[in-house]
Amino acid sequence: MRFLDVKTDFAFKKVFGSERSKPLLISFLNALLEYEGEHTIADLTIIDPYQAPAIKGMKDTYVDVKAILANGKTVIIEMQVLNVEGFEKRILYNATKAYAAQLDKGEQYTLLNPVIALTFTDFIMFREQADVVSRYKLLETQTLAQYSDDVELIFIELPKFKTALDALEGIHDKWIYFVKHAGRLDYVPDTLMMEPCINEAFGIANKAGLTEAELEAQEKRHDFIRLQRGSIEKALRDGLAKGREEGMKQGIEQGIEQGIEQGRETERNALILQAYKNGMPTHLIGSFVSMEEEDVIALLRLLLPI
């Protein structure tokens, strides 16, 4: 057997955002949000469930999974593979936008329900912290008293999760292991098979059950990620090299700083260009790189005729 790489946004939404995913998503969220007892999630509604992709031009995108819990909370679950500029601000923006969007004009603020943004990253975000899971809320800086739990950001950094298969402890570890390693496995390990919902998740991720269009979508996502990672690495190398060269004239420290900035711009331009060539709409490219759509279009006109 071969399984989808759940770290790609397409596969992530197929596994956790399909119509048949509801029991899986309940188990997944109870484990990762550490809900127990009276707080245990018993029911939820998946918003905008996964649809099989229309491949031509890759116009469909798979960004996140959204669910409304029975108690009214909204949970936004996202898988982020590339560490693009502005990503951390986009997470906060999407969470607060979902929070504000609950009210129509004139409605009472008391009707607002909490929003949780649960984000997996395939890169390290917080190098100063050793923990795999980080939680952020609004707190008073001196006493750490909680102001509100209406907006909560939770990050799970997959590179920090190094627990071996035979050392997994509980459903929390097993779900993280599934997300990180499913795409590299050719069988369902016994310790994961014994968890009914994780075993079902492997069934959804089994490539044997996918349509030709879904397999093509998965491969295109892999190609896109490989190209962007390559462009990011090259941009950083070029930026550092240019920084060192400029540093001979302007001072090493200042030159490297300028080179890195130019490298970031090169990285962003390469990502925008490749995304456009892969058929991604300009408004979605803009949200991906934190730019206005008109600025994306203007940049593309400089990079190639459209």
> Residue 50: its pLDDT value, please?
62
Under 8 Å between Cβ of 32 and 147:
no
For residue 146, list its beta bridge partners: 139
235 against 14, higher pLDDT? 14
Question: Residue 117 is encoded by which pair of tokens?
Answer: 């943004």
Instruction: Give me the pLDDT at residue 239, please.
Output: 62
pLDDT band at 132 (very low <50, low <70, confident <90, very high): very high
Q: Is the pLDDT of residue 59 over 50?
A: no
Dist CA 106 CA 113 (whole Å):
16
What is the per-residue pLDDT for 62?
Answer: 37
Whether 170 and 34 have beta carbons less than 8 Å apart is answered as: no
Q: pLDDT tens across 142-155, in order?
A: 888 988 889 999 99
The more confident residue out of 102 and 259 is 102
58, pLDDT greater than 90: no
Phi, psi of 15 (to 5 degrees): -70, -45
Boundaries of every domain in the chain: 9-209, 213-303
pLDDT of residue 306: 46
Q: In what order do the strands lie in the sheet with 146-157?
A: 44-47, 64-69, 74-80, 115-121, 146-157, 133-139
pLDDT digit string, tens, across residues 82-125: 787 788 898 999 999 999 999 988 899 999 999 999 999 988 99
Q: How do residues 219-231 score in pLDDT, each as one tens digit? A: 666 666 665 655 5
- Is residue 57's pLDDT more than 50? no
Give the angle 26-31-35 at the CA atoms, nearest 5°.
85
